[in-house]
Amino acid sequence: MVRNPGTTLRLTVLPWMVGMAVAFALFQLMAGLDLTAALPGQLSQVAALTGYLPALVISLFVFCMIGAWVAMSWHRHILLREEAVAVLPKNNSESFDGYFDAVMKFALLSLVIFLMIKFLLVPLVPVLGLGGPGGKIISIGINALLVAIVLRHGLVLPGAAIGKPIAMDESWQATSGYSGPIYAVALCITLFVDLAGQLPAGNLAGVALQITAAWAGLILAVGVLTVLYGVRIQGRRMIV
């Protein structure tokens, strides 16, 4: 990414900016509608909040689609040397269908893992009296464990992107010798997400900062999965 900023810009930044533009236009449209004029007191506040719900839902859907498009394009660029077309990633509708299906299955698995570990481990924090900074450290450690488990299953995504799918258990086995480095990467991602969550979001600039942080987190995770797939599945050498 650092060595070829032009390609990184076309494959990742420009599509993300399209998503930001769509989200901004939707929220501006909703802001232009008078949703509270005929409602008293607290009802007007509820209407003002729920009035933005359609814009929020559509924006989230747009960013999910763009995120999948960006991730697939980056996988294909690194693993197949596929270049961007003009100023945007190449349109691969057939590949995208298979990739999006893999993303949905992967997201479902990630959600199950998340809920299982959270329900099992998080209640232990107050029981053990680990409030304050100690509880925060434990929480970050648990979240990093979640991310590491998800990353170890995540080689299914670059495989689906290049038309050579693998099963999730194959992904887990292929990354078995990299548990330590993967957890270190997962810890970095967790700390980054935690810091990004503390960014202000009360105005347009704050929202833009959070969206930018989401882009950076996406690219970091996608880059890690792409490298792992190349090294562990394709047998490539890691170039440092």
pLDDT tens figures, 51-63: 566 777 777 788 8
CA separation for the pair 17, 24 (Å, rounded): 10
DSSP string covering 6-51: HHHIIIIIHHHHHHHHHHHHHHHHHHTS--STT--HHHHHHHHHHH
Give me the domain span that covers residue 180: 5-233
Question: Is 145 within the bounds of a domain?
Answer: yes
Tally of CB atoms within 10 A around 204: 11
* pLDDT tens-digit map of 211-239: 777 788 888 888 889 999 999 898 887 65
9 to 2, 72, 130, 209: CA distances (angstroms): 10, 15, 43, 17
pLDDT at 13: 78
Domain count, the chain: 1
Q: Write down the pTM of the prediction.
A: 0.76
Dihedral in degrees, nearest 10, Cα atoms 212, 215, 216, 219: -160
pLDDT of residue 42: 45
CA distance 142 to 194: 13
Question: Is residue 240 in a domain?
Answer: no
Q: What is the pLDDT of residue 40?
A: 43
Number of CB atoms found within 10 A of residue 127's CB:
7
215 located within any domain: yes
| For residue 147, pLDDT beyond 80 | yes
Q: Is the per-residue pLDDT at 38 higher than 60?
A: no
Task: Count CA within 13 A, CB hemisphere, residue 73.
Answer: 29
In-domain check, residue 213? yes
106 vs 160: CA distance, rounded Å: 11
Residues 49-108 pLDDT 10s: 555 667 777 777 888 888 888 888 888 888 988 876 655 566 666 677 788 888 888 888
Tokens of 51: 């009035």
Kind and range of the H or E run holding 161:
helix 156-161
- Mean pLDDT confidence for 119-137: 65
d(CA 151, CA 170): 13
Q: Residue 121 domain-assigned? A: yes
Instruction: Tell me, yes or no, whether 238 lies in a domain.
Output: no
In a domain, 239, yes or no: no
The label of the residue with tokens 């697939």 reads 72
Of 102, 79, 83, the residue nearest 230 (C-alpha): 79
